[in-house]
């Protein structure tokens, strides 16, 4: 077994950084490892225009530690009122790389999201025309749909019609959690892909619920049963290029996670690459980590692969139980547990 593993510097194709004072604590853990990241736009207020994306991008760049190269790839937040002109402006900007569909009420800061997907048809037509990828939080929010079935129902009601109606549109089914989603992507036309998080590869709903509720394992889409987890693990371990790294790292202060609200999100950024290495080693295919982390996403987005490298060292280390988060603290994903790979340097 190798004691070191060097791979092309990876990218994170699904990341939450928040805004304001939080950036001093959220940008650095990602920028030290990943060359680029698709930055989610669900702020309060959301990033609904190219001008807002430009301002947010600059605030992120201002928080990057000195001497580190990091490129935030910006995303527009789609609403019922998004215009085709705004999509054209975004594509022409050179720094907006996608637009995000949040069903209204599906997750953190999604209240301004889309209430009727069919209202987006003119926008999606232009996104297809200018080749601006659509990123999808794939859950229905109807009260009569069980929370564990939301992803499967979304595929049938909304995602399949989108993929069929817009055959040249790039679509990323983000943070997939079910066998249904994995099979959908495997059987879909070209230009359909998916991101996978460390928590959905390493955990299932037992880790959330058995022995008491574990709020720092709570995310949306919620962890599913073990059979779904196993399906995700198998499809990633297969090396299929339609599946690539997207941490969905989502920081919330401890008080917000351990509250009646129980905010959704796992802050995996401080240990992201070692977590994925842990998964690939568990599956006996560590040699496939590089393609998943560093090749597949760049290829799908039509961006050049990175040329520099990062190195992992085989050495046990313990993820901190908590980290500074300005006025409070944040509990990272895998807190207090041991990982067998760490970043060199």
- Asked whether residue 18 is marked as a ligand-binding residue, the answer is yes
Q: Which residues of the chain have pLDDT under 70?
A: 1, 105-111
- Asked whether residue 293 is marked as a ligand-binding residue, the answer is no
Half-sphere exposure at residue 161, Cβ-oriented, CA atoms within 13 angstroms: 10
How confident is the model at residue 10, as a pLDDT?
A: 99
- Asked whether residue 42 is marked as a ligand-binding residue, the answer is yes
- The reply to whether 299 belongs to the active site is no
- Asked whether residue 257 is marked as a ligand-binding residue, the answer is no
Quote the pTM value: 0.96
Half-sphere exposure at residue 48, Cβ-oriented, CA atoms within 13 angstroms: 16
Give me the architecture of the 4-343 domain, per CATH: Alpha-Beta Barrel (3.20)
Longest CA pairwise span in the chain (Å): 54
How confident is the model at residue 302, as a pLDDT?
A: 98
- Asked whether residue 158 is marked as a ligand-binding residue, the answer is no
- Asked whether residue 224 is marked as a ligand-binding residue, the answer is no
How confident is the model at residue 109, as a pLDDT?
A: 56
- The Cα–Cα gap between 4 and 150 comes to 41
Mapped onto helix, strand or coil, the DSSP state of residue 44 is coil
Choose, from 11, 12, 180, 248, the residue flagged as catalytic: 248
How confident is the model at residue 300, as a pLDDT?
A: 98
- Asked whether residue 17 is marked as a ligand-binding residue, the answer is yes
- Asked whether residue 120 is marked as a ligand-binding residue, the answer is no
What is the per-residue pLDDT across 118-152, written as a single tens digit (0 to 9) for each? 999 999 999 999 999 999 999 998 889 999 999 99
- The Cα–Cα gap between 78 and 307 comes to 33
Q: Six-digit token pair at 39? A: 């930055």
How confident is the model at residue 142, as a pLDDT?
A: 87
Q: Six-digit token pair at 34? A: 């990943």
């Amino acid at each position: 077994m190798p004691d070191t593993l060097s791979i092309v510097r990876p990218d994170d194709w699904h990341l939450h950084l928040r805004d304001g004072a939080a950036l001093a604590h959220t940008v650095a853990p990602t920028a030290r490892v990943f060359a680029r990241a698709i930055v989610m736009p669900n702020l309060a207020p959301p990033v609904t225009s190219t001008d807002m994306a430009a301002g947010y991008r600059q605030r992120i760049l201002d928080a990057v530690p000195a001497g580190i190269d990091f490129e935030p790839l910006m995303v527009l937040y789609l609403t019922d009122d998004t215009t085709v002109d705004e999509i054209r402006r975004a594509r022409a900007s050179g720094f907006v790389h996608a637009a995000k569909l949040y069903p209204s009420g599906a997750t953190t800061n999604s209240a301004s999201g889309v209430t009727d997907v069919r209202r987006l048809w003119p926008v999606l037509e232009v996104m297809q025309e200018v080749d601006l990828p659509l990123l999808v939080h794939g859950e229905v929010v109807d009260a009569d749909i069980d929370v564990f079935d939301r992803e499967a129902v979304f595929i049938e009601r909304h995602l399949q019609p989108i993929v069929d109606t817009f055959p040249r549109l790039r679509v990323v089914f983000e943070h997939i959690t079910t066998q249904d989603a994995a099979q959908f992507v495997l059987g879909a036309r070209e230009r359909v892909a998916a991101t996978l998080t460390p928590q959905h590869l390493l955990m299932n709903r037992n880790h959330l619920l058995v022995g008491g509720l574990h709020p720092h394992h709570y995310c949306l889409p919620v962890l599913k049963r073990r059979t779904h987890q196993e399906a995700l693990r198998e499809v990633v371990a297969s090396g299929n290029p339609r599946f690539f790294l997207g941490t969905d790292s989502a920081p919330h202060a401890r008080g917000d996670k351990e509250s009646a609200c129980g905010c959704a999100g796992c802050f995996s950024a401080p240990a992201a690459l070692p977590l994925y290495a842990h998964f690939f080693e568990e599956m006996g295919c560590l040699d496939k980590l590089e393609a998943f982390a560093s090749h597949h996403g760049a290829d799908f987005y039509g961006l050049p692969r990175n040329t520099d490298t990062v190195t992992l060292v085989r050495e046990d280390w313990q993820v901190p139980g908590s980290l500074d988060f300005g006025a409070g603290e944040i509990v990272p994903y895998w807190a207090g547990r041991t990982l067998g790979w760490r970043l060199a340097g």
